[in-house]
């Protein structure tokens, strides 16, 4: 039994998923299904697309969902993986719902394509952004955002991704972020952190904050027209970092997720509390593995799906656990 974990934006790169397509028929079928759903050649986008093309949000989100779904289908069909829970980081939550049979893959592909377009168009280019804050805890980051709004006379700015202890991403207006970068002084923050750093991120929009409200309304319309079934295993959702199985709650939390922060640190804490420490990052990259390592490198055992060697490691680990 394993926890299936699905990455979000930032994990994409050219040739993503190509080795799955070349080696497993179920992966070929998945790419074909995704291409049919969107009337887009997903193999061309994922295997031949440039970094710039894959960085476009309307391309990133369906590409990630396609590769993540191909990964989990290979694990289940070819390696007999049994999932006991799943969680996805932001757009990765759609892949978790597909894996659990709550939402059909075709419906999810169409939804994330619209989600990407809606999030990109919600804020004119250059008027919003995101910034990584390193070395501060949750309360200190919340204080920093409130302090910035009060003193800069600009809004909004708020926590967007609680990625791991000491790594939180904030999101908001470009004016807020620019003012904060120019006026940041760690000594002013309660608790006087010894090490604190701000890193502007190269993103196209201010995701997971109130500037995404129009995109959230669009996704309410889209997701309300999609059937949600009871998942075959519980999903830990970004919105509340709790196990959810009720279809209506899954839908509502997925809608709210667009403008709400991603509670990934809290998700990892829940998995640790429940002793669910064997996980597989289904999809391209190993961003999530890195976050789990920062959370607790000794207790968590997170495997990735980047190559045939990675899949062999998972198989060997499962065989060892059985014996």
Name the residues annotated as catalytic.
Answer: 90, 208
Cα distance between residue 39 and residue 34, in whole Å:
8
Cα distance between residue 232 and residue 244, in whole Å:
11
The answer to whether 236 and 85 are in contact (CB under 8 A) is yes
What is the DSSP secondary structure assignment for residue 262, as one 8-state letter?
A: E
Residues, the chain: 323
Cα distance between residue 11 and residue 289, in whole Å:
11
Sign of CA dihedral 3, 226, 10, 38: positive
What is the DSSP secondary structure assignment for residue 187, as one 8-state letter?
A: G
CA dist 7 → 133, 169, 285 (Å): 20, 16, 8
**Lookup result for tokens 């989600």:** 115
């Amino acid at each position: 039994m394993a926890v299936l974990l699905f990455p979000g934006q930032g994990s994409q790169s050219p040739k993503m998923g190509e080795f799955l397509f070349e080696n497993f028929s179920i992966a070929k079928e998945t790419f074909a299904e995704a291409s049919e759903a969107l009337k887009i050649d997903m193999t061309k986008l994922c295997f031949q697309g440039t970094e710039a093309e894959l960085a476009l949000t309307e391309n990133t989100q369906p590409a990630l969902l396609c590769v993540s779904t191909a990964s989990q289908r290979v694990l289940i069909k070819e390696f007999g993986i049994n999932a006991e829970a799943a969680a996805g980081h932001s757009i990765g939550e759609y892949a978790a719902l597909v894996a659990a049979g709550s939402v059909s893959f075709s419906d999810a592909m169409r939804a994330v394509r619209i989600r990407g377009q809606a999030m990109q168009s919600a804020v004119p280019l250059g008027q919003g952004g995101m910034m990584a804050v390193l070395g501060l805890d949750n309360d200190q980051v919340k204080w920093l955002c409130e302090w910035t709004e009060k003193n800069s006379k600009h809004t909004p700015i708020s926590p967007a991704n609680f990625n791991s202890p000491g790594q939180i991403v904030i999101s908001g207006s470009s004016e807020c972020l620019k003012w904060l970068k120019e006026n940041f002084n760690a000594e002013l923050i309660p608790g006087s952190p010894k090490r604190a750093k701000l890193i502007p991120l190269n993103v196209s929009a201010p995701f997971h904050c109130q500037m995404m409200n129009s995109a959230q309304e669009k996704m309410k319309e889209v997701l309300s027209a999609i059937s949600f079934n009871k998942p075959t295993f519980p999903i830990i959702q970004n919105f509340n970092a709790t196990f959810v199985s009720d279809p209506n709650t899954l839908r509502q939390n997925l809608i709210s997720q667009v403008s709400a922060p991603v509670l990934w640190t809290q998700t990892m804490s829940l998995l640790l509390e429940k002793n669910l420490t064997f996980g597989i990052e289904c999809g391209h990259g190993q961003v999530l593995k890195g976050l789990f390592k920062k959370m607790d490198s000794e207790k968590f055992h997170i495997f990735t799906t980047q190559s045939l060697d990675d899949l062999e490691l998972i198989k060997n680990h499962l065989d060892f656990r059985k014996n």
